[in-house]
Structure 1
């Protein structure tokens, strides 16, 4: 059986990763992995990705084609673009319904496996010492703080150990991020990926809105 000290440390580490990357990013990653498997939505997800690429490609071709100089080609591309957009919106609407259910289930399981488990451990082992402090090392009031709320005096409680782990993980993470920026002169991979995903989402949403306006 793994040490309780290690279990608490791993829980705090997982919580730090989730908070750093973002719960929504974790949900999106799990949703992508779910659709890679032979699941009921995998076929629709692959078709949606194919249509998305097709829409972007058709949009570029439309931008490079003059409706005055080559109207027939422009009209053909416009019809293909509108059809692909309509098909994508239909599939995307169905996928979003499934994704909402999936995200709700994943969020519940993630909370139970991290925050929920942490609360249970803190309640169950509230009176159990994580380890003992040598007698006379710290004043009485420090011993009382370290044993808060119900651990034996002179020991470190599970609550205090959890706070210590979270603090050390946060400091180590900030140090690694600062070292990465100093060495590479680039933002961290997480920040770069978030920026790229945001730019792609904004570009595609703009294209989607323009397509909707055209239909109106």
Structure 2
């Protein structure tokens, strides 16, 4: 069984990634991946994609045909377009119901394996020390805070360790974001910015030197 210290840290890391990426974005990616496999909705999803492309194609062709100059062709394209739109709406409506149910299930599972598991661990191991602090390193009231709420005094409780992991993950995440943004800014920096490219190349020196050159 992995160390409880590592489990708590991994849970906080997972929560940070979910909050950073976004639960809706993760749900959409998993929905696309789900329909890649032979699932009950995979055939409908592929058919909806095909119909959507067909609707876009027919709409473009319909926009390039004049109803006055070539009414027969325009009417034929219009019938094909209306039929494709109707079929797409029918399949898409059924898929939306399955997708909402899929998203709801994902949200429940995600909560159980992140926040739910974190709360359960904090309750179950509330009296167990994560590690001990060497005697005399911190004052007594600090020992009480670090052992809050029910861990033995002189140790670090799972609640405090959870808060510490969340703080560290957040700080490291912000630092990495700042480094990445700084690298992007440096890559697109204007060459020669801040240099002396625009300075006068006909510098005659200091004012005192100019007076000497001109004489009395």
Q: TM-score, length-normalised on structure 1?
A: 0.79
| Structure with a larger share of its residues in helix | 1
Note the C-alpha offset of 1:69: 4.7
CA distance in 1, matches of 2:79, 2:171: 55
Report SS of the residue matched to 1:185. Answer: helix
Equivalent runs, 1:168-183 vs 2, <5 Å? 168-183=168-183
| Partner residue in 2 for 1:95 | 95
Note the C-alpha offset of 1:139: 1.8
CA distance in 2, matches of 1:69, 1:142: 87
| Partner residue in 2 for 1:120 | 120
Report SS of the residue matched to 1:121. Answer: helix
Computing the radius of gyration from Cα coordinates, the structure with the larger value is 2
Tell me how large the CA RMSD over aligned residues is: 1.9
Note the C-alpha offset of 1:71: 4.2
Note the C-alpha offset of 1:185: 3.5
Quick check: 1:15 aligned with 2:9?
no
Per-residue Cα deviation, 1:60-93 (whole angstroms, up to 9, x for no partner): 3344444455544444333332222111110011
CA distance in 2, matches of 1:33, 1:169: 28
Equivalent runs, 1:33-48 vs 2, <5 Å? 33-48=33-48
CA distance in 1, matches of 2:13, 2:165: 8
CA distance in 2, matches of 1:81, 1:132: 72
Per-residue Cα deviation, 1:166-210 (whole angstroms, up to 9, x for no partner): 111111111212221221239xxxxxxxxxxxxxxxxxxxxxxxx
Per-residue Cα deviation, 1:108-155 (whole angstroms, up to 9, x for no partner): 111111111111100000011111111222222221221111111111
| Partner residue in 1 for 2:31 | 31
Q: TM-score, length-normalised on structure 2?
A: 0.79
Q: 1:167 to 1:57 in 2, by over 3 A?
A: farther
CA distance in 2, matches of 1:133, 1:66: 82
